[in-house]
């Protein structure tokens, strides 16, 4: 498991970032297979996740989507497509493209990236942003139950990290392991997860 390099990440079209982001938002709290089975319909219904069109989706259009049996009809998650299209459009304007942001964000500040996504995006807290970045091929960790258990075992934290202080400790540990081993964060995260029995 290797992250995509910066050039590959930077070249990913903006609409693909919104598509995967939206998919991760819908997967949160749902059986992932249900979302996967409907995703082609989502692509059709939401015009391939074009940022310009999705960013100007009206409340009436959102209401119309709530009666569409082709997709998962969850009002707040549907509205998040519009909100996140506006967020990603701003990132694109500020940086040339959405991919440029994720391609050049330092792995030594992965928690800063998660904080930015949570603050500026919609419904991107918890593990949602971590899975989104992993699925896009950006380097980072996922704080799964097993990874958290391994971090507790290693004395990095004493419980699931929720505070900035604890997230800073997690970042420091991952950065140190990254520098010691030259492995990407996603590999370190996977190794930690596999080190927990059962």
Complete domains list, the chain, with CATH = 6-105 (1.10.340.30), 145-194 (no CATH)
* Helix pair angle (14-27, 32-45), 10° resolution: 140
pLDDT of residue 160: 96
Q: Are 139 and 186 in contact (CB under 8 A)?
A: yes
pLDDT band at 119 (very low <50, low <70, confident <90, very high): very high
Whether residue 134 has pLDDT greater than 90: yes
What's the half-sphere exposure (Cβ side, CA atoms, 13 Å) at 14? 21
Per-residue pLDDT tens over the stretch 184-198: 999 999 999 999 986
Q: Are 6 and 54 in contact (CB under 8 A)?
A: no
As a dihedral over the C-alpha atoms of residue 74, residue 42, residue 144, residue 107, rounded to 10 degrees, the angle is: -120
Per-residue pLDDT tens over the stretch 10-43: 999 999 999 999 999 999 998 999 999 999 999 9
67-93 as b/e: b if 16+ CB within 10 A = eeeebbeeeebbbbbbbbbbbbbebbe
Per-residue pLDDT tens over the stretch 70-116: 999 999 999 999 999 999 999 999 999 999 999 999 999 999 999 99
Q: Given the structure tokens 């699925």, which residue do they identify?
A: 135
Query: Which conformational region is residue 74 in: left (phi greater than 0), alpha (psi within -120 to 50 degrees), or beta?
Result: beta
pLDDT of residue 198: 62
Angstrom distance (rounded) from CA 86 to CA 81: 9
pLDDT of residue 1: 74
∠ Cα 171 154 178 (to 5°): 40
Angstrom distance (rounded) from CA 8 to CA 192: 27
What letter does residue 3 receive in the DSSP assignment?
A: P
Per-residue pLDDT tens over the stretch 40-66: 999 999 999 999 999 999 999 999 999
């Amino acid at each position: 498991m290797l992250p995509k390099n910066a050039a590959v990440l930077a070249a990913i079209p903006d609409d693909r970032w919104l598509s995967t982001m939206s998919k991760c938002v819908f997967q949160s709290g749902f059986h992932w297979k249900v979302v996967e089975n409907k995703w082609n319909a989502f692509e059709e219904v939401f015009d391939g996740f074009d940022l310009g069109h999705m960013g100007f989706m009206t409340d009436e259009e959102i209401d119309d989507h709530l009666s569409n049996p082709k997709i998962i009809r969850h009002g707040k998650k549907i509205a998040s497509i519009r909100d996140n299209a506006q967020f990603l459009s701003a990132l694109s304007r500020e940086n040339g493209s959405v991919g440029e942001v994720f391609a050049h964000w330092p792995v030594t500040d992965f928690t800063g990236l998660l904080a930015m996504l949570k603050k500026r995006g919609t419904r991107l807290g918890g593990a949602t942003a971590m899975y989104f970045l992993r699925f896009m091929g950006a380097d980072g960790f996922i704080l799964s139950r097993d990874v958290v258990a391994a971090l507790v075992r290693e004395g990095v934290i004493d419980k699931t990290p929720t505070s900035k202080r604890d997230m800073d400790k997690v970042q420091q540990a991952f950065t140190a392991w990254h520098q010691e081993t030259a492995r990407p964060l996603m590999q370190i995260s996977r190794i930690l997860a596999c080190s927990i029995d059962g």
